[in-house]
A = this chain, B = another copy of it.
Amino acid sequence: MTTSEQATPRKRRMPRAERERQMMEVAEEVFAERGYVAASMDEIAERVGVSKPMLYEYFGSKEGLLVACIRQARAELLRVTAEATAAAANDPETAFRAGLVAYFRFAVDHGVAWSLLSSEAAVVGPQTADEVEAVRQQQTNLISVTMSAYAPEVAQGALDAFAEIIVGGCERLALWCGRRGDVTPEQAAEHIMRLMWSGLKDSLPAEK
């Protein structure tokens, strides 16, 4: 009887790492579809084709599962934005624009899942809120550090404030782009540049 289950790909045993990846993938889908609160661990388990205690074995709790998803996305986001800005390190304007483009491209690629995570996650509990906040702080920090390399003598407080504004503005704009569907990352970045570059440049010291 256990033989020849035609279509169904016969329940497989998997090594932990692989199962974890698969679970996170499914979880991201389900969270995106239903929203975190409405998503049930039973459904995620069922879609993975595994029983609920496995999820708890590997992630500890529903929130833990969400945190794992966010953490992975966050690492990816840091990688792409940092690489983009580093590639054009000699020119602040180009670097800034490249970072923006990379950010918006990431948002587009991860589509619904990322929007929902980024706008939804905080409600859950301190753990998750911290995790989402960490994503923003990481980006804020990247921007702040990059700027202060170009403008060492500007007050740190002002730079931090600018970084917050940039991150918040980008996040909102990314959501807006997703809603409209017809805005490219380059166009989005251009909007940010138009609105902010002039003010940013003026606050930085004279170019070398």
Contact = CB atoms under 8 A, between A and B. Distances in A.
Interface of A: 35-38, 119-126, 129, 136, 158, 160-162, 164-173, 175-176, 183, 188, 191-192, 194-200, 202-203
A123 B125 contact: no
B158 A191 contact: yes
- Copies per complex of this chain: 2
10 contacts: A35-B123, A35-B124, A38-B125, A158-B191, A161-B173, A161-B191, A164-B173, A165-B195, A166-B169, A196-B196
Contacts of A121: 123
Given A37-B124, A164-B176, 10 more contacts: A119-B122, A120-B122, A161-B188, A161-B191, A162-B195, A165-B170, A165-B191, A166-B169, A168-B170, A195-B203
Contacts of A37: 37, 123-125
A168 B36 CA distance: 23
A165 B192 contact: yes
Contacts of A198: 198-199, 202
A120 B36 CA distance: 12
Contacts of A172: 136, 164-165, 167-169, 171
Given A120-B123, A198-B199, A199-B196, A129 B168 contact: no
Contacts of A202: 194, 198
Nearest to A197: B199
Contact of A176 (B161, B170, B191): B161
A87 B87 CA distance: 47
A160 B136 contact: no
Contact of A191 (B36, B162, B175): B162
